[in-house]
């Protein structure tokens, strides 16, 4: 297994769930694909410099995970379908 940092930007606009519930849901999805969550860093709500897709801010969350590359690809595909996930970025850690 390799170590990754997954930066997930959540869109909470017009959502019934709180940011904490959304963060927990993403953690469950990470575990479902076979990855292990080492740490969750809640970086908070931050504004965007411009309003793409009519979204003016997002909740930034960094997940430190251990996963196989196939699990990261599966996670990326699953989160792409999640309406609460605005953006996702993955970085292989040394």
Within a domain: 31: yes
Residue 43 lies in a domain: yes
Chain centroid to Cα 57, Å, comes to 15
Predicted local confidence at residue 14, as pLDDT: 80
The boundaries of the domain holding residue 32 are 16-48+71-84
Q: What are phi and psi of 87, to 5 degrees?
A: -145, 155
**Is the pLDDT reported for residue 9 higher than 80?**
yes
Cα separation, 40 vs 23, in Å, equals: 9
pLDDT in tens, 14-73: 888 889 999 999 999 999 999 999 999 999 999 888 876 777 889 999 999 999 999 999
User: Where residue 87 falls among pLDDT bands split at 50, 70, 90?
Assistant: very high
Q: In the β-sheet with 57-67, what is the strand arrangement from edge to edge?
A: 36-47, 57-67, 2-10, 85-92
- Tell me whether residue 55 is in a domain: no
Would 76 be classed as within a structural domain? yes
Number of domains in the chain: 1
């Amino acid at each position: 297994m390799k170590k990754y940092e997954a930066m997930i930007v959540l869109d909470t606009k017009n959502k019934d769930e709180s940011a904490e519930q959304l963060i927990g849901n993403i953690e469950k999805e990470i575990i479902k694909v076979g990855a292990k969550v080492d740490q969750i860093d809640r970086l908070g709500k931050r504004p965007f410099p411009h309003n793409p897709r009519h979204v003016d801010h997002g909740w930034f969350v960094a997940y430190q995970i251990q996963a196989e590359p196939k699990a990261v690809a599966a996670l990326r595909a699953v989160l792409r379908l999640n309406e609460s996930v605005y953006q996702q970025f993955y970085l292989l850690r040394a």
